[in-house]
Amino acid sequence: MPNSPTILRIVSIPFDENTYLAYFAGRSDCLVFDPGMQPDKIVAEIEQRQLTPAAILCTHGHADHIAGNEALKQRWPECLLIIGAGDEAKLTDPVANLSAGFGVNLLSPPADQVVSEGEVLELAGFRLEVRETPGHSSGHVVFLASGLSPLQVFGGDVLFAGSVGRTDFPDCSFEVLKRSIHEKLFPLPDDSIVLPGHGPATTIGAEKQANPFVGLA
């Protein structure tokens, strides 16, 4: 496996949500993680590079992380839409995906595939391991791009640089989130790069040492 993918961060307003476009040089396929609320920006980046998405991977079903699903599926209908089994229902439920609270009633196309703890996906040259990380959302998952050095964690809204995901939504729990971080993320190598749903990238080692909410120091 090539060891140096290109991973682009595309930030969508109004929530400054991070969408990631990931691909290997020499390949025409790519992956899109958590398409945000400005899908035109995402489509433009993909088309500029003459790529075709093999899959849309959603870490969870909150509106700011699924808002671009419909536009991408319309443009590339064969692209797989993948989400954790526990958050599948949020795709088509505006109350559960929190968009109804903003008066939007956002709907995503349904999932083509749902994933659970321990599954491995081979897509667009990537090997992705699924880990269930509830707390911010009951069905939240992260995707570990193993085989890369350092390991890349497409982490959604679990662990941020110096912070953690919100736990004031209906199916949230800080204690569950903390346990997810300590049991599923902190055992990873310290140089593992966390690509969060909001804000800048960080590393597992940095957050273990200095995160004021869940750090071990």
- The verdict on residue 50 lying in a domain is yes
Q: Checking phi first, is residue 57 left (phi over 0); if not, alpha (psi -120 to 50) or beta?
A: beta
SS3 84: strand
**What integer pLDDT is reported at residue 217 of this predicted model?**
75
Integer distance in angstroms from the first to the last C-alpha of the chain?
36
- Domain holding 13: CATH number? 3.60.15.10
**71 assigned to some structural domain:** yes
Question: Which one-letter amino acid corresponds to residue 81?
Answer: L
pLDDT tens, residue order, the chain (217 aa) = 446 899 999 999 999 999 999 999 999 999 999 999 999 999 999 999 999 999 999 999 999 999 999 999 999 999 999 999 999 999 999 999 999 988 889 999 999 999 999 999 999 999 999 999 999 999 999 999 988 999 999 999 999 999 999 999 989 999 999 999 999 999 999 999 999 999 999 999 999 999 999 999 7
Domain count, the chain: 1
Domain membership of residue 215 (yes or no) is no
| Residue 217 belongs to a domain | no
Q: What is the pLDDT of residue 3?
A: 62
Give yes or no for a contact between 114 and 16, defined as CB atoms under 8 angstroms apart.
no
Residue 13 domain boundaries: 6-210
- Order of strands across the sheet with 29-33? 6-12, 17-23, 29-33, 52-58, 80-84, 113-115
Report how far residue 174's alpha carbon sits from residue 168's, in angstroms, rounded to the nearest whole number.
8
Tokens 């971080």 sit on residue: 181
Domain membership of residue 152 (yes or no) is: yes
